[in-house]
Amino acid sequence: MKTRVIVIAGLVILLGAAVFGYALVRMRGADPAADEDAAPAPSVVSVQVGALERMTLHRYVTGYGEVAPAPATPGRAAAAATIAAPVNGVVTKVLAAEGQQVVRGQLMMELDSDTTTEAFAGREAARQQELYAEHNTSLKALQSAKAQLALLRVVAPVSGAVVQVNVRPGAAVSTSTVLAEVTDLRRLVVQTDIPETQSAELRVGQSVQLLGASPITTRLAYISPTVDASDGAVRAWASLPANSGLRPGQYVDLRIGTATHANALAAPSQSVVTDVDGHSVLSLVRGDEAIRTPVQTGLREGGWVEVAGPGLAAGAPVVTVGAYGLPARTRIHVVKASEDPAGTEDDQPSGTP
């Protein structure tokens, strides 16, 4: 009886071991297949694409400018003049009106001084001229008479438009009185103050574009060698064409071209992103894949950025919308701008670049 119990117990143990072994074998054999069935399919990211292009790109320094008369330059007087009374006295005649065009040397006003009148000075100058022609007076006397008359006759120092007349006949004046102002409206400049941090890029001759309804292009003519301590800016100006249609005192938006790269390889600005290491990259499209490519960037203008890097060529397609966060290599589905490039949850990148 005892022997029989032992045999039965042994059979039970053997049967349990067999069942356990079978289960273990099934588990080991079935897991790979189950894992394989459960593995997610490679993600497909919906994106929009653009293409690299060859174009001319510029860099600009932008600012505000004020239209003003041209300043004096070597060999040429300023385009505007403020006329002060040459002597203390009284205005007897005003021969010019605001808006009138005058030429240099044209008589604008007559004065009587505290010691003589314009009429008497005129007769004395004429008399000295006759005497000098007869060799009956000295050159010094003639010059003195003419100088006395010149003090009582106010003439236009430059050709241009009379923009202001400040006195009328009968007005008492002194040498500090401003009688009138004349400006040559054909000789105007646009002045601008550029921050010191940007002024190092400026060069005489650079293109200056005045922006507005009627854009004007000119050239930078002057750059101050000093920085204004009050605002840390550098004064620069450019001459305007004679028919600019602008007037002194107007303010305009402008930009100065400081660099031009012709035939530059450029990418849509959306396609160039910064990776986690702080490097500029874009994703080249190869078939149904996007391949992250490092690039060096240059000038930026109008939604384009200059790029250089391995495998880049004009016409090469690149990811634009959806470029940020793409893995180094991923499958993509290209959609049109009117479609939703975000895709579904399964379409999102599985990791960061």
Amino acid 75: pLDDT = 86
Residue 341 has pLDDT above 70, yes or no: no
CA-based R_g, the chain, Å: 43
Instruction: Tell me the pLDDT tens digit for each residue of 114-150.
Output: 999 999 999 999 999 999 999 999 999 999 999 999 9
Instruction: Tell me the pLDDT tens digit for each residue of 43-55.
Output: 889 999 999 999 9
Amino acid 352: pLDDT = 34
State the DSSP code for 258. Answer: E
CB of 143 closer than 8 Å to CB of 54: no
Instruction: Tell me the pLDDT tens digit for each residue of 173-225.
Output: 999 999 999 999 999 999 999 999 999 999 999 999 999 888 999 999 999 99
Indicate the length of the chain as a whole number.
353
Give, to the nearest 10 degrees, the angle between helix 139-152 and helix 118-133.
Answer: 160
What distance in Å separates the CA atoms of residue 1 and residue 181, rounded to the nearest whole number? 141
What distance in Å separates the CA atoms of residue 200 and residue 59, rounded to the nearest whole number? 14
Residue 344 has pLDDT above 50, yes or no: no
The per-residue pLDDT of the chain, averaged, comes to 87
Instruction: Tell me the pLDDT tens digit for each residue of 162-176.
Output: 999 999 999 999 999
Half-sphere exposure of 50 (CA within 13 A, CB side): 17
Region 81-109: what's the mean pLDDT? 96
Query: Which structure tokens are listed for 125?
Result: 């100058």
Strand pairing of 188-195 and 216-223?
unpaired
Residue 10 has pLDDT above 70, yes or no: no
Task: Report pTM.
Answer: 0.68
Phi, psi of 63 (to 5 degrees): -175, -170
CB of 299 closer than 8 Å to CB of 57: yes
Residue 36 has pLDDT above 70, yes or no: no
Query: Which structure tokens are listed for 61?
Result: 């320094």
Region 292-298: what's the mean pLDDT? 95
Amino acid 312: pLDDT = 95
Cα–Cα distances in angstroms (integers) from residue 28 to residues 14, 24, 205, 231, 241, in the given order: 21, 6, 81, 79, 89
Most confident of 27-31, 73-77, 242-246, 283-287: 283-287
Region 19-38: what's the mean pLDDT? 50
State the DSSP code for 232. Answer: T
Region 217-236: what's the mean pLDDT? 95
Strand partners, 300: 305
Kindly indicate the confidence band of residue 304, based on its pLDDT and cuts at 50, 70 and 90. very high
Strand pairing of 188-195 and 53-69?
antiparallel
Instruction: Tell me the pLDDT tens digit for each residue of 243-291.
Output: 898 999 999 999 999 999 999 999 999 999 999 889 999 999 999 999 9
CB of 148 closer than 8 Å to CB of 121: yes
Region 94-98: what's the mean pLDDT? 95
